[in-house]
Structure 1
Amino acid sequence: MRLTIALALWASLLAPASAQGPANGRAMPPRGDIFPVNYSIPENWICRPGVDDGTCSTNLDAIAVDAKGERTPAPFVAAADPKIDCFYVYPTTSNDPTLYSDLKPDAAERRAVHGQAARLREKCRLFVPVYHSFTMTALRWSMAHPGDDKAIDFDVPYADIVAAWRSYLAHDNKGRGVVLIGHSQGAILLKRLIAEKIDGKPVQKLLVAAYLAGNRDLSAKSFKAIPPCAAADQTGCLIAWSSYRDGQPGERFFGGTNAGEPPLCVNPAALAGGSGLAKPYLSKPALSAPSDPPYVEPLGQMSAQCVTDDKGAVLRIHIEPNGKFAGLLAYALNQLALPGGWGLHALDISLVQGNIVDLLGAQSAAWVKAHP
């Protein structure tokens, strides 16, 4: 009984705000106050050099736990002089009661940035613009009213991301390599930004890599001049995936075909293909000692592999069976599998975050060597 309670507490703690299920509502939520955003104003960035209220610098330390249960401190150390930049766009997570969020990030938005992006500071300068994001309120309403497209207008948030990108290029880039990374809504917006403003254009030379997690409609032909990554030292390439437990039955919302093109899955744990050990960073269990750091890094306890079947291509997460915590991890992931075929969408980045950091190190070195 005590173990069951512990497992449930861990599962509930790991679930971010975006993992909450959709709710019905009769009237379309109001749009909110939408206006052009001036990204030369520091307050319109959650994080950037010289701007951080703690969202991107609050404790990121972890305890690394191997398959035998042995614990090793894994303190976070930000790079003192990173050679590249990371431009991150956060997912649908705002709890504002409007279709589009205001420019005052709530706790859910800050949790997403802290959990998904702050660790990137180990390899890059981090830029995170605030934007009028499509909210959880809007997502719940749109899922309760399928077929009604009036609530889904990505032109609003996209205009902000374009403005933030242009401001970054004009005032901050100065010829540095840059990684684009986004999840869910963030990946949707960055896909469009890449296609319209970067792909095949002179600015493409700055692209170290793009990481687009949890985007429904990416294929190997989404971009004309940006190929999928196939090696850790390859730059100017794309890594994309959507996560599901291996053997998870039922329909899938992500990883399907798009206009007849096969979906794209590039495994951050094994770019060349096949299976690779995943390096997750997960929130610590609720029953952990108060002195424990906020994150747990399970070592050698999960693997990931891109799998193609008649429904498309997804990143399958496998729990290694011989680990001491295999049952706990399997239970937690099962609890976090979202309804409606969304799978492990909420954990797309968390499950391979250590792999992403490792790749950023290799890609950064390769890009700087090629652009002295």
Structure 2
Amino acid sequence: MVDAWNHYLAHENVGRGVVLIGHSQGAGVLTQLIANEVDGKPVQDKLVSAFLIGTNLPVEKGGKTGTFKSIPLCEAADQTGCAVAYVSFRADAPPPANSRFGVAPPQAQNMEAACVNPAALAGGKAGLHAYLASSGNLLGSSEEPQPWVKGGSTVGTPFVSVPGLLSGECVRKDGFHYLAVTVNADPADPRTDTIAGDVVQNGVIAKDWGLHLIDVNLAMGDISRLVESQGAAWLASRKD
């Protein structure tokens, strides 16, 4: 990973800004790369932003830094050189005591797992611009989505957008810090009132995983808009 990063910087970057995005184990590897090769070093100037999703990024409780000393959590759409990190759970199914996500590792004393809502960087609840897999085989789960529209035609595209159906908010509960996702069900609306995305093993939902399979999908539209805004801000800063 380090060799690939250094090769990219030496031969492919040609002065451009960099957005680093990873999920789950990939986010864990990126966290190590950023901590060892970017944080506090001259190359940090190239960092537009980092998205470390589906991993427990330790930060000081209530703070903006921790694992990274000079790369804070993002708080504004035009902020650059910052990080977005979160794990997701259904609002009505918070992390159980044995959850593997939403908590900093024991060795990270006085720290918590970071949570930044891409749809509301300053905090609070906001609608999520999700792009969800239209069929279960894209989820890597045995769980099949319910029909997207009651009595409607089958969705033929790989992904589907559901405006207004989902909202998210970073919450702290029972020692966990996570993106709580609410499904805004409306029986009068012909659209589905639920979403797939849980890890299902032998017909049983593994609650300690939360919505890990769709962490990125839940806010993909918000992430895309945020990267666009941050990229524009990074370029503008080079013109000063």
- Bin of the TM-score, shorter chain as denominator length: 0.7 to 0.9
Percent identity of the aligned residues? 42
Aligned residue number for residue 328 of structure 1: 194
1:369 aligns with 2:236: yes
Deviation at 1:183, TM superposition (A): 0.4
Structure 1 CA distance for aligned equivalents of residues 207 and 181 of structure 2: 18
Structure 2 CA distance for aligned equivalents of residues 291 and 184 of structure 1: 28
Deviation at 1:326, TM superposition (A): 4.5
RMSD, aligned α-carbons: 2.1
1:254 aligns with 2:120: no
* 3-state SS in 1 of match to 2:193: helix
8 Å Cα contact 2:126-2:168 kept in structure 1? yes
Deviation at 1:239, TM superposition (A): 0.3
1:232 aligns with 2:77: yes
Amino acid across the alignment from 2:104: T
Aligned residue number for residue 223 of structure 1: 68
Structure 2 CA distance for aligned equivalents of residues 217 and 362 of structure 1: 23
8 Å Cα contact 2:56-2:114 kept in structure 1? no
Q: Could you say if the C-alpha distance between residues 333 and 327 of structure 1 is closer, same or farther in structure 2, counting changes exceeding 3 Å? A: farther
8 Å Cα contact 1:320-1:326 kept in structure 2? no
Amino acid across the alignment from 2:84: I
* 3-state SS in 2 of match to 1:200: coil
Q: 1:264 aligns with which of 114, 136, 143?
A: 114
Aligned residue number for residue 313 of structure 1: 177
Q: 2:129 aligns with which of 267, 279, 287?
A: 279
Aligned residue number for residue 293 of structure 1: 157
Structure 2 CA distance for aligned equivalents of residues 267 and 256 of structure 1: 16
TM-score by length of 1: 0.53
Matches within 5 A, 1:102-251: 161-219=1-59, 220-249=65-94, 250-251=96-97
8 Å Cα contact 2:199-2:210 kept in structure 1? no
Structure 1 CA distance for aligned equivalents of residues 130 and 27 of structure 2: 20
Deviation at 1:172, TM superposition (A): 0.9
Structure 1 CA distance for aligned equivalents of residues 51 and 220 of structure 2: 11
8 Å Cα contact 2:113-2:176 kept in structure 1? yes
Aligned residue number for residue 339 of structure 1: 206
Deviation at 1:257, TM superposition (A): 3.0
Deviations 1:116-153 (A, max 9, x none): xxxxxxxxxxxxxxxxxxxxxxxxxxxxxxxxxxxxxx
Structure 2 CA distance for aligned equivalents of residues 308 and 291 of structure 1: 36
Q: Could you say if the C-alpha distance between residues 303 and 164 of structure 1 is closer, same or farther in structure 2, counting changes exceeding 3 Å? A: same
Deviation at 1:300, TM superposition (A): 1.0
> What runs of 5+ residues in structure 1 fail to find an aligned partner?
1-160
Amino acid across the alignment from 1:298: V
1:357 aligns with 2:207: no
* 3-state SS in 1 of match to 2:170: strand
Q: Could you say if the C-alpha distance between residues 166 and 253 of structure 1 is closer, same or farther in structure 2, counting changes exceeding 3 Å? A: same
8 Å Cα contact 1:319-1:326 kept in structure 2? no
Q: Could you say if the C-alpha distance between residues 278 and 189 of structure 1 is closer, same or farther in structure 2, counting changes exceeding 3 Å? A: same
Amino acid across the alignment from 1:325: R
TM-score by length of 2: 0.81
**4+ residue runs over 6 A deviation:** none
Deviations 1:273-301 (A, max 9, x none): 00111111112247786783221011111
* 3-state SS in 1 of match to 2:101: coil
Deviation at 1:218, TM superposition (A): 2.6
Deviation at 1:334, TM superposition (A): 5.2
Aligned residue number for residue 304 of structure 1: 168
